[in-house]
Structure 1
Amino acid sequence: MRLLIGLICLTCLPVLAEDLRVSGFGTLGFTVHDSEHYGLRNDISAADGSFKDEVDFASNSILGLQLDYDFNANLSAVSQFTYHNQNSFSLDNYISQAYLRYKPTANWTIRVGRTPLDLFLLTEYRDIGFAYPWAHVPSEVYGILPFRYVDGADVSYTIPVGQLNFTAKIFTGSSESEFSNYQFPERVKTTSLSGLSLELNDYDWLITIKHSQGKFDDNIASVDELIAGFDFIPISLWPNKQDFIPQLNLVDSKSSYTSIGGRYDATPITLMAEFAKVNGDRIMVRDLLNGYLSLAYEWSQHLVFSYFAFTNADRYDIANSGLQTALLPAELSPLASALDAAINYFASNQDTTAIGWRYHLNERTALKIQWDHTKIDENGATLWINKTRFSSVPADTINTLSANLSFTF
C-alpha cells in the first residue's frame, strides 16, 4: 500500500501539465496558557507540549500543499502533504492524502490509496483552519484519537432524495499513528479498519452519522515492558494476576467509534454540533463520551463564535484488579502507579468553554483570536502532557489564549 501511495504522489509531479492543480493552506500563530501542571498539545499524538510562561508557535500551526492531477474526466490523482508538528521527520508522516479517484458515473466515487479517516464532521478539512470558524478544532473531539488517515479504499454513492442529497460511504484499510502521555511517542497500528458514513444535506444544513471499527495489530511497547515487570509481584499479593494481564494486551483487541454531527446555516447564525462514543473490548480502551456544541454569528467581515466541548470516561479502580496495593513493598509501588496510568490512559475527563473572534482580511485569509476556559478532573488530563510521570495530578482549571492567521492559496 505504501508503494501505491508513493506512485500516486509521483503522478502529480509533472508540474507543467495543464491538468495539474496546485493549492495549499496554512495556519500560523501562537498559544499561551496558565497551567502549573500540564503542557498544551494539539492531540495525543504529540510527544511534547508547551508549559506555563512558554509561547507555543507549533501546536496549532500547520502548513499543507495539495496537488490534483486529472488523467481524464473520470480518473484523477490527489496528493496532500501536511506539516503539523509531527514527532518524526519522514516523508510518510507528511503524506496526509495520496489516492486515485475514479468516478464511473456522477453518483459513484471510488478512491484507492491514503484517504482521510472519516470519523468526524470536519474529516475532509480538519487541517484547513480557514474552513472552520474557530482558532482550532475542539480537542475534546479531534484530539482524543491520533489516527488521521486510512491506507485502503472507500466507495461512496450520492443520490437526490427530493430536494435533499444523500451520500453513503464505506471504507476499509489500516492506519498507523503515534501517541504519547509521558513525553515520548509510541507507535500503534490498527488493521481490519472499516467504516460507514451516512450524510444527508440541503443547501443550509447537514447531518452525518458515522461508525467505524478496527483491530490492533501489536501491543504498545511500554505496556509489554509493564507486563514483564509484573513477574516481580508475588501471587500472594495478586492472586488473579494471570487472569488479569491478558486484559492489558492490545493484540487482536477491537475498538469502535460512533458519531453523529450536524451543521445548520441560518445566516448570519451558524450552529454546529458533534457527539461521539468510543468503545473497546479490553480494559486498556476505556469507554468514552465526547462532543461539542458551537454557535457563530457573522456580520460584514467579522464573526464571533463560542463552543462548549467535553470528554467523559469512567476511571478504572486498580483495586478491582485484585492487586493488593496497600501490601506492596515500596520498591514495587511504581508498578502499581504505572498500571493505573496505563489502564486509565484514555480516561479523559474535561470540559472547555471557548469564545473567539474571526476577521476576514480577504476571501482567502482570516485572523482569529480564541480564549479557552478548561476544567480538568483529577487524573483526567489525557489530552495534555503531564510533567510528572505516573504521578497523580490534581484537578486543574486552565485559561488558554490562541491567535493565528489562517489562509488558503
Structure 2
Amino acid sequence: MSTLRHVIRLIPLSMLTITPLLTLEAKAEIDLRLSGFGSIGALTTNSDKLGFRRDLSDPKASYQGEINISSLSLLGLQANLEFSENVEFVGQIVLREQPVQNADTILKIASLNWQANDKLEFRLGRSAQRFYMLSDSRHIGFANLWTMPVQEFYAPTGNNYLDGLTAHYRLDLAGGLLTSNFAYGETVVVIEDEISGASKLSFNNSFGVSLEYEKGDWLTRISWTESSNGKDWPQVEQAQQALLYLSQIWPGAISLSRDLSIENKTVRYTNAGVYYDNGKWSVISEIGHIKSESLLLPTTNNAYISLGRHIDLFTPYIIFASSQTETPDQLTNIPPETGPMIAGFVDVFGQGWDQDTFSVGTRWDFHFNMALKAQWDYKQVEKQGMGLWFRGKDGLYPQQNTNVQVISIRWDFTF
C-alpha cells in the first residue's frame, strides 16, 4: 500500500514537471545568474556552566574565555538558470561547520520553478518553507538585522527546507498583495548532541499552509505546519530499551518509553509574524506554538520582538525573546525508588526550552553590499529548561537557574 501511495504521488509531480517544458516557447539561450553571500563572525560567553549554541544543529559549544568563529561564519553560492520566461531552476549551497557534511546537508535549495501565470507558481524539489519571517533568508546574514537569528524562536525550528512540492498563489487585495503558500513533502532535521553526536530526525510526511499579506511598509504572515511519520534515532531506541528494563519495578516506564518515540507521532508548528520598516523604524516580531506528541520535541510557546532605528548608515536595535516549555507529567511523576536509575534519562530528555533574553545591538551598512554588526545578549535560563544549550565544561547541566551573557560580532556580505 505504501508503494502504491508513493506511485500515486509521483504522477502529478511528473506531469507538473513535463507539462511546462512541453508548452513553453524555447529560448535561444539559457540565462545563468550566479550570486553569493557570506559571513565571518565570532562570539564568546561569560559562562562555563552552559555551552551556547546558535541552534540545535550547531556542533560548536561556546564557553567563557573561548572565541567561537565557526558558528557565525559561512559561505553561500546560488545559481539561477532561466530556461524561459516561466521556467527556472534555482540551486543554493551553504558551506559552514555542521554535524553532517555531505551533499545532502550542504544543498539548501534545488528546485524547478514554474510560473503558470502571473498569480500561480509551483516549485518542485528542495525549497525553503515560507512559514517563518526568516524562511527565505535564515542563512543570509546580510538580509537580517541581527548577528544571528533569535535563539528562543529559531533554534528549535529545524525544518529549514522541504523536499517535495510547493505552490504559491498571489492575489491583489485592498491595495496590497495576498499570497497563499502550500507545501507537501519530507524533511530531515540534523541535531547535534555532545554525547551521542549528530542525529538525523526525518519526517516523511510534512504538510503546511501559510498566508502572507504585504502592503506598503507592512508584511504579515500566519502559518501552520504538520509533520508526521518520523523515524527514531538510535539513541532513542537505546533509551527505550533501558526504560523497558525499568518497567519490572516501575510499570509507568512502559508509557514513558512509548511517549519518547517519534514514530507514528505528529508535530505541529503554528506561527504568526509581522514585519514593518518605513525607512526610519524597523520592527519584526513572531509568536509560535509547537505541539508535539513526543517527549523528544517538547510542546513549546515562543515569541520575540525586535525594534530598530535607522540613523544614517547605522541601525541600533533591541530584542526581547522568550521560550517556555510545557513539562510533561511523565517526567514529574517518577517514583523515588527509580530516581537514581533514571536520573541520566531525565537529564538528557527532560530538558525543556525555558529561557528569556534581552539583546542590544547595532548594524553598520558601511558598503552597499557589506554590513558589520555587534550584539550583546543577556540570557536567563531556567533549571530543567536548558535543552537549547550544551552541558557545562564539567559535563553536567546546572541544578539551578543560570544567567549567561553572549557577545557576538559579524561581517556579512553579498556578491
Normalising by structure 1, what TM-score?
Answer: 0.90
Q: CA RMSD in A?
A: 2.1
Q: Give the conservation status (yes or no) of the 8 Å contact 1:66–1:79.
A: yes
Structure 1 residue 69, shift from structure 2 partner: 0.4
Q: What's the CA shift string for 1:289-322, capped at 9, x where partnerless?
A: 111101000121111111111111122355655x
Q: Where in structure 2 are the equivalents of 1:50-65 lying within 5 Å? A: 50-65=62-77
| Structure-2 separation of matches of 1:128 and 1:404 | 12
Q: What's the CA shift string for 1:211-262, capped at 9, x where partnerless?
A: 0001143112111101112343253x31333344211221110010000000
SS of structure 2 residue aligned to 1:125 = coil
| Pair 1:402-2:415 in alignment | no
Q: Give the conservation status (yes or no) of the 8 Å contact 1:338–1:390.
A: no
| Structure-1 separation of matches of 2:258 and 2:284 | 41
| Pair 1:115-2:127 in alignment | yes
Structure 1 residue 192, shift from structure 2 partner: 1.1
Structure 1 residue 91, shift from structure 2 partner: 1.2
| Pair 1:140-2:146 in alignment | no
| Structure-2 separation of matches of 1:315 and 1:180 | 22
| Pair 1:79-2:91 in alignment | yes
Residue among 62, 66, 78 paired with 1:66: 78
Q: Where in structure 2 are the equivalents of 1:200-211 lying within 5 Å? A: 200-211=213-224
Q: Which amino acid aligns with 1:378?
A: K
Give the equivalent residue in structure 2 for 1:194: 207
Q: Give the conservation status (yes or no) of the 8 Å contact 1:119–1:257.
A: no
In 2 relative to 1, CA 379–81 (structure 1 residues): closer, same or farther, beyond 3 Å?
Answer: same
Give the equivalent residue in structure 2 for 1:11: none
SS of structure 2 residue aligned to 1:377 = strand
Structure 1 residue 405, shift from structure 2 partner: 0.6
| Structure-1 separation of matches of 2:331 and 2:43 | 39
Question: Which segments of 5 or more consecutive residues in structure 1 lack a partner in the other structure?
Answer: 9-16
Aligned length: 388
| Structure-1 separation of matches of 2:172 and 2:408 | 41
Structure 1 residue 390, shift from structure 2 partner: 6.5
Q: What's the CA shift string for 1:22-62, capped at 9, x where partnerless?
A: 00111111101111211121111223312111100011122
Question: Which segments of 5 or more consecutive residues in structure 2 lack a partner in the other structure?
Answer: 1-5, 7-12, 18-28
Q: Which amino acid aligns with 1:403?
A: I
Further displaced range: 302-311 or 116-125: 116-125
In 2 relative to 1, CA 90–319 (structure 1 residues): closer, same or farther, beyond 3 Å?
Answer: closer
| Structure-1 separation of matches of 2:316 and 2:331 | 48
Further displaced range: 388-397 or 164-173: 388-397
Q: Give the conservation status (yes or no) of the 8 Å contact 2:36–2:76.
A: yes
SS of structure 2 residue aligned to 1:227 = helix
| Structure-2 separation of matches of 1:319 and 1:32 | 33
Q: Give the conservation status (yes or no) of the 8 Å contact 1:337–1:390.
A: no
| Structure-2 separation of matches of 1:320 and 1:373 | 29
Residue among 312, 327, 330 paired with 2:337: 327
Q: Give the conservation status (yes or no) of the 8 Å contact 2:244–2:254.
A: no
Q: Give the conservation status (yes or no) of the 8 Å contact 1:140–1:291.
A: yes
Further displaced range: 387-396 or 132-141: 387-396
Structure 1 residue 267, shift from structure 2 partner: 2.7
| Structure-2 separation of matches of 1:290 and 1:316 | 17
